[in-house]
Amino acid sequence: MSTKHFDKAAIDYDKKTRRIELADKISSAIIQLPLSKQMNGIEYGCGTGLVGMTVAPSLDTLLAIDSSQGMLDVLQEKIQEQGITNIKTLCCDFSTESFTEKQDLIICSMTLHHLKNAKDLLLQFAALLKPGGYLAIADCVTEDGSFHDPSAEGIWHHGFDPEELKTFLGNAGMGSLQSTIVHSIIKNTNSKKEFPVFLLTGQKNN
């Protein structure tokens, strides 16, 4: 996936109220998991850190990973301005680069639909989790393709069926799988339309 679009969008990324509201809902749900200061985690597709910066205080460390250096530059500025010491950043693309460090928590928020081989990434996540580690995936419920502007780049999926993902992850060694609708995005184009966003969580089987 080309990162040029996201590099360009990074400067103004945090200015959309709708984006802030969604991140707040997702992160508020994630911190309901039994997280602790003994846990290390990653957020893949972290963007400017709108989700991860809320979750990080519940962990020992959070590695914020994105393939867009522009997004990470904005996040790094916020980390420095706020004196945050337990978030590090890494520019990395799991589809082409190797990452093997085992984790207690993996977050992926509103990123899967940008990835052609989304299920391959989910398998990587399951393999990277320590036994008992937690996975938290947020994305749109399957929609008709109208969520994104027709000119939007890098859209490979029009949302996902959470039940299908639960079955897939269950076969990949994940248990305690649950999905809930954490937010609905309202868009007014030709008519008012609602797009539910789910959070799917699970725990790696021992």
Secondary structure (DSSP) of 155-177: ---S-B-HHHHHHHHHHTTEEEE
* Three-class secondary structure of residue 125 per DSSP: helix
Mean pLDDT of the region 186-205: 89
Instruction: Give the pairing of strands 192-204 and 174-188.
Output: antiparallel
Beta carbons of 129 and 156 less than 8 angstroms apart: no
Residue 10 in this model has a pLDDT that exceeds 80: no
How far is it between the farthest Cα atoms of the chain? 49
> What is the overall mean pLDDT for the chain?
92
Query: What's residue 183's pLDDT?
Result: 96
Q: Which of 194, 157, 202 is nearest to 176 (CA)?
A: 202
Annotation: CATH topology of 4-204: Rossmann fold (3.40.50)
Q: What are phi and psi of 162, to 5 degrees?
A: -60, -35
Residue 113 in this model has a pLDDT that exceeds 80: yes
Instruction: Give the pairing of strands 174-188 and 129-140.
Output: unpaired
In this predicted model, which residue has the larger pLDDT, 157 or 34? 34
Percent of the chain at pLDDT > 90 equals 78
Return the amino acid letter for 134: Y
Query: What's residue 1's pLDDT?
Result: 46
Domain segments of the chain as ranges? 4-204
Lowest mean pLDDT among 62-66, 130-134, 146-150: 146-150
pTM of the model: 0.91
Lowest mean pLDDT among 9-18, 40-49, 94-103, 138-147: 9-18
- Tokens read off for 98: 């190797």
- Euclidean distance between CA atoms 179 and 198, whole angstroms: 6
In this predicted model, which residue has the larger pLDDT, 8 or 40? 40
Return the amino acid letter for 90: L
